[in-house]
Amino acid sequence: MLHLPEPIGAVFVTLIGLVVGSFLNVCIYRLPHGLSVVHPGSRCPSCKTPIRWYRNIPVLSWLVLRGRCSACRAGISVRYPIVETLTAALTLWIWLRYGLSAEFAVAVPFAWAMIVLFFTDLDTQLLPDVVTLAGVAAGFASAWFNPFLGEPGIHRIWMALSGCALGGGLLWTVGALYSRLRGVEAMGFGDVKMMAFIGAVAGPQGVLFAIFGGSVAGAAAGWALIPLRGRSMQSTLPFGCFLAPAGLAALLYARQVIGWYLGLLVPGG
């Protein structure tokens, strides 16, 4: 990748994203059920027939088979090619933005984790600890090399620690206060661990950006969907579905947006 011409590099990165997206589909399906993502190999969710490699090509196989299992003809969710395409698109986008750099090495695995958390929360209202807690550990382990946490050195370690504490602590406090005032559970503890993960990678600024962005998007979508579902707003959508894109946006853009906003408040400052 260091020596490939840019168009070829872009194709290579996209192919990597498609392959990883296929693996993320396995994670999304298996992790909430406590299943191994390694063994057994890919198989039809309906008839359990193993899927041969030539019928497991990302996106293409789903299109060729018209979204059906080749053995039992049961329908295969359109989510599978969506996840593969989304993973490839985000991987390519980050590569085009940062190239092969420390930013790329941090942002791409983070984006993949956010995809898994988005779809597991959407499908099962669960945010697997193997992703959130492992993400916190990875955030601390990579903090020294993470340029999104600011100036090099011990400052980055402090930003990861304070971001993790702020992310988990702030969301837990808000949830606890809401539960005490309203007498209902505001959110699951998985959301708290997810915000701790985001904070460990994106720092305190990313936490504030992600919580604000996720809350605004969640509130807007919740109000819009209430008439369609005929349910109360508090039971409409899982919050992790909004924290995931907001967390990725926070990692990539929080510092620029906050800097721009402060520049408006203090012109020339």
Say how far apart CA 7 and CA 108 lie, in whole Å.
Answer: 19
Clarify whether residues 114 and 136 are in a common domain.
Answer: yes
Q: Indicate whether 175 and 253 sit together in one domain.
A: yes
**Residue range 184-235, pLDDT digits in tens:** 555 568 899 999 999 999 999 999 999 998 888 887 877 776 666 555 544 5
pLDDT higher than 50, residue 70: yes
Radius of gyration of the chain (CA): 20
Residue 175's pLDDT is 64
pLDDT digits (tens, 9 = 90+) for 113-127: 999 999 999 999 999
* Position 261 confidence tier, pLDDT thresholds 50, 70, 90: low
If you average pLDDT over residues 41-61, what whole number do you get?
Answer: 82
**Domain co-membership, 191 together with 266:** yes
Residue with token string 């057994």? 40
The residue range of the domain holding 107 is 101-269
84, 99, 114: which is the final residue of a domain?
Answer: 99
Residues 257 and 157 in one domain: yes
pLDDT averaged over every residue in the chain: 85
Q: Please tell me the pTM assigned to this model.
A: 0.88
Q: Residues 89, 135: one domain? A: no
Quick one: pLDDT band at residue 267, thresholds 50, 70, 90?
A: low
Query: Distances in Å between the alpha carbon of 71 and those of 57, 167, 219, 245?
Result: 16, 46, 43, 36
Same domain, 78 and 133: no
The band of 42, judged by pLDDT with boundaries at 50, 70 and 90, is confident
What are the distances in angstroms from CA 52 to CA 23, 30, 36, 42, 206?
Answer: 15, 19, 19, 8, 42
Choosing from 99, 129, 149, the residue where a domain stops is 99
Q: Which long-range contacts (CB under 8 A, 24 or more apart) does 96-99 make?
A: 96/10, 97/252
